[in-house]
Chain A
Amino acid sequence: MAAPTQTPPDLQQRSFEEPRRRALREAAIRYALLAATSTGIVVLGILLYRVFSDGLTYLDFGFLVSLPSRIDPDSAGVSPGLTGTLSLMLIVALGSFPIGIGAALYLEEFAPKNRVTALIETNISNLAGVPSVVYGLLGAGLFVGILDIGRSLLAGGVTLILLILPVIIVTSREAIKAVPNELREGGLGLGATRWQTTQKLVLPQALPGMITGAILGLSRAIGEAAPILVVGATSARFRNNSPLDLFDQFSALPINIYNYTFDPDPVFTQLAASAIIVLLGALLLMNGIAIYFRNRASRGNA
């Protein structure tokens, strides 16, 4: 609203164009940003298309229960990987849930504000950033090397437990934080001890959130190939066909995928795609369960 006589001629001219140009530029930027957001999604779509167009050919029940083969694609399968992944899931769940939830309860409910607590907290956030392949070296050097338990299911399982503990601790802490303090005060006011309050009041409230985090951590563990590859997982079968023989050599779906992908024969690339469908199916199932618990949690708090 400046006096028109004082406005330089070029600015006057621009002021006529500006609203339309500005709207155009704004729209262009908006769509460029939307395109940037969509790129990842488009790539995800291409990836899934590629996997499903290749992977459905050999995917049948036989694929799930047959041994891997480098010769005959028709009779090849992923049974060691599938049973290996299920065994690993069981071990990792049994190991990581109690320790992770215990650590989260300690840090949120009981830990004094001192240097030891600060050390543990910094430690957890730093561990979350350690590359998974380094955990593999830990497993190879400590469990296979120094403790000498072999390239075994146990060594792989414990490595994965350590890998996902930071994730589980962080998500469990969030769930505990979300429990209102009035509940704790109520418990303590009725004369319950700190542990009774935690166990009877806080834990049930936080549990759905904790389960969600635990399942998400577990789904990360079963998708990981690098650490167990370094610990020594192979695509071979358990020695005596027992899925919980802790000291036997082990396999997992990501390892089957890795080995099939490396096969120069394109037919075996299709088998890799079939194995990916199996893995993604398992992950989808687990995430569905996690979302179910998350919804239950948010309903409970509302």
Chain B
Amino acid sequence: MAPSVTAAIHTSDAPESHVAATAPAPDQNPLRRRSARLGERAIIGVLFLCGAVSVVTTVAIVGVLANETIPFFQQIPLSDFFLDTVWQPFGIPGNEGFRLGVWALVTGTAHVTVIGLLVAIPLGLGAATYLSEYASPRVRGTLKPILEILAGIPTVVLGFFALTTVSPFLREVLGTDVVDLFNSFSGGLVVGVMLIPTVASVSEDAMSAVPQSLREAGYGLGASRSRVARSVVFPSALSGIVAAVILAMSRAVGETMIVALSVGSRPNVTWDVFSQNQTMTGYIAQSVGGEAARGSFQYTALFAVGALLFVLTLALNLIASAFVGRYRQAY
């Protein structure tokens, strides 16, 4: 195609000035034109590589976790890791007291997650209902940005708050013999506060997506505003609300700085939420800063715990996005 264009130009008897005026000269050079397309393809190739960075990141995360975790499980039986209830990763296997029962850390995480969700689900859903069904645009415009500020507070700051304000307050109210300075309750409470914006904004999205006609049908039947919220909007937005809760759960499991600062460093399997404990994330954060030398069991154990954390949060996120997909499909 390109050669025929040049041929046409060369055979034309028009004066040179005319040719220059009708078409820009450089583009008539077929070689140039091809190289321009090549350059374009190169640019798109570079952009593709930018996108591919994300895939490489995932591969790297899985690779690094597997790289340390597989040798770990060649020496520590899976049954010990998942069934033992004591976490003492010091020294080498066979040492007095050396035990690697991740259950102790998992229950610590469970404490914080359950307490956090007990705080965040009612408050977050309440906020979502208020913002979506009750608030005037002006009130909404004021409250939503403030909730966004809460979402933007670094978690290390929330951890400071849990340890220096919430925990001493609990000790004053309930007694210092009942509540340890480091405890899973104050960590869980503050994680709950951290999760309020997540629950509120995801479920509010789902509620706002419910068509107005459904609400009007409810009002037309004489239902009150709260009745419409409860019996029309909630059921219609249910998959989005479930997604919000699961997403919040995943964030609670993965939250690190709040629990590293306030839950403590003594993992144990207990029902006592006022005693010192440790979560999976807290173990990772606290041990790396310490003397976990590369190749030691303390070091590889970090990656084993990290791998478990990665799998847990990934599973929760996949479930959540399946639910989000459902309400997006419905409306």
Task: Tell me if B296 counts as interface (CB < 8 A to partner A).
Answer: no
Given the complex, which residues of B lie within 8 Å of A257, measured CB to CB? Answer: 156-157, 160
- Shortest CB-to-CB span from B151 to chain A, Å, is 9
- A92–B310 Cα distance when bound, in Å, is 24
Residue A226 lies at the interface, judged by CB distance under 8 Å to chain B: yes
Set of chain A residues within 8 Å of B54, measured between Cβ atoms: 103, 120, 123-124, 127, 165-166, 169
For B254, list chain A residues within 8 Å (CB): 130-134
**What B residues does A137 contact at CB under 8 A?**
61, 64-65, 284, 302-303, 306
| Contact call A133/B256, Cβ cutoff below 8 A | yes
- Known A-B contacts A44-B150, A134-B254, A140-B288; A226 and B260 likewise in contact (beta carbons under 8 Å): yes
In the complex, chain B residues whose CB is within 8 Å of the CB of A107:
51
CB–CB A106/B51 < 8 A: yes
Q: With an 8 A cutoff between CB atoms, is A247 at the interface?
A: no
Known: A51-B157, A123-B54, A126-B318. A261 touches B163 (CB 8 A): yes
Known contacts A41-B150, A127-B58, A105 near B226 by CB under 8 Å? no
Once A102-B47, A283-B154, A287-B152 are accepted as A-B contacts, the answer to whether A25 and B226 lie under 8 Å apart by CB is yes
* Pairwise interchain contact A276-B160, C-beta atoms closer than 8 A: yes
Find out whether the CB atom of B193 lies under 8 angstroms from the CB atom of A223. no
Q: For the complex, what is the distance from the CA of A229 to the CA of B195, rounded to whole Å?
A: 22
**Chain A residue nearest in CB terms to B39:** A195
B58 touches A141 (CB 8 A): no
Secondary structure at chain B's binding surface: helix, strand, loop or mixed? helix
Known contacts A44-B149, A125-B321, A287-B152; is A37 also within 8 Å of B64 by CB? no
A232 to B299, CA, bound (A): 13
- Give the A-B pair count, Cβ closer than 8 A: 257
Nearest A residue to B147 via CB reads A40
A200: CB under 8 A from chain B? no
Which of A47, A54, A133, A258 lies at the interface centre, i.e. has the most chain B CB atoms within 10 A of its CB?
Answer: A133
Within 8 A of A (CB), among B140-169: 143, 146-147, 149-150, 152-161, 163-165
Q: Contact between A226 and B294 (Cβ–Cβ < 8 Å)?
A: no
User: Quick check: is B224 within 8 A (CB to CB) of the other chain?
Assistant: yes
Give a binary string over B292-331; 1 marks a CB under 8 Å from any A CB, 0 the rest: 0010000000110010011001101110110000000000
Q: How many of chain B's residues have a CB under 8 angstroms from any CB in A?
A: 87
CA distance A60 to B60 in the complex (A): 43
A283 near B152 with CB under 8 A, answer: yes
A123 / chain B contacts, CB cutoff of 8 Å: 54-55, 58
Cα–Cα, bound, A127→B52 (Å):
13
Confirm or deny: B44 has a beta carbon within 8 angstroms of a beta carbon on chain A: yes
- Chain A residue nearest to B320 in the complex (CB): A129
Complex CA gap A53/B254 in Å reads: 31
From A2-10, A28-36, A72-80, A205-213, give the one contacting chain B: A28-36
Q: Binding site of A, secondary structure by majority: helix, strand, loop or mixed?
A: helix
Which of chain A's residues has its CB closest to B43's CB? Answer: A195
Which of the listed residues A100, A126, A134, A269 has the most CB atoms from chain B within 10 Å of its own CB?
A134
Chain A 124-169 residues near chain B, CB threshold 8 A: 124-127, 129-138, 140-142, 145-146, 162, 165-166, 169
Residues from chain A with a CB closer than 8 A to the CB of B175 are: none
B59: nearest chain-A partner, CB-CB: A123
Q: Among the listed A47, A51, A106, A193, which residue makes an inter-chain contact with B50, where contact means beta carbons less than 8 Å apart?
A: A106
Q: Is B67 an interface residue (CB 8 A)?
A: yes
Q: Would you call A279 and B126 a contact (CB within 8 A)?
A: no
* Contact among A34, A110, A129, A133 with B250 in the assembled complex (CB-CB below 8 Å): A129
Report A-chain residues with C-beta under 8 Å of the C-beta of B61.
Answer: 130, 134-135, 137-138
Least Cβ–Cβ distance between A193 and chain B, in angstroms? 6
Interface membership of B206, Cβ < 8 A? no
Q: Quick check: is A26 within 8 A (CB to CB) of the other chain?
A: yes
Report the bound CA distance from A26 to B219 in whole Å. 14
B contact residues around A40 at 8 Å (CB): 123, 127, 147, 150, 193, 196-197, 200
Say yes or no for B92: interface residue by CB 8 A criterion: no
Query: Is B161's CB under 8 angstroms from A50's CB?
Result: yes
Q: Is the CB of A39 within 8 A of B123?
A: yes
Known: A47-B161, A223-B156, A226-B285. A105 touches B47 (CB 8 A): yes
A119 touches B (CB below 8 Å): yes
Which listed segment binds A: B5-13, B94-102, B128-136, B268-276?
A: B128-136
* One of A36, A133, A141, A195 near B122 (C-beta < 8 A): A36
Q: In the complex, which residue of chain A has the Cβ closest to the Cβ of B286?
A: A229
In angstroms, Cα B55 to Cα A135, docked, is: 14
The reply to whether the CB of B253 lies closer than 8 angstroms to some CB of chain A is: yes
B67 CB, nearest partner CB in chain A, Å: 7
Contact of A37 among B51, B131, B256, B257 (CB under 8 A): B131
Q: Which of B67, B224, B281, B316 is within 8 Å of A22, CB to CB? A: B224
- Nearest Cβ on chain B to A177's Cβ, whole angstroms: 16
Contact string, B71-84, partner A, CB cutoff 8 A, digits 1/0?
Answer: 00000000000000
* B221 contacts A by Cβ under 8 Å: no
Q: Which of B51, B131, B254 has the most CB of A within 10 A?
A: B51
CA distance in complex: A178, B247 (Å):
27
Given contacts A127-B57, A133-B284, contact A110 B130 (CB under 8 A): no
CB-CB nearest 9 A-B residue pairs: A131-B254, A36-B126, A223-B154, A102-B50, A141-B64, A106-B47, A129-B317, A33-B130, A226-B256
Known A33-B134, A258-B261; 20 more pairs at CB < 8 Å: A32-B126, A33-B126, A35-B126, A37-B131, A40-B147, A101-B50, A123-B54, A126-B58, A131-B253, A133-B281, A133-B284, A134-B65, A134-B254, A141-B64, A142-B64, A162-B57, A226-B285, A232-B288, A261-B159, A280-B157
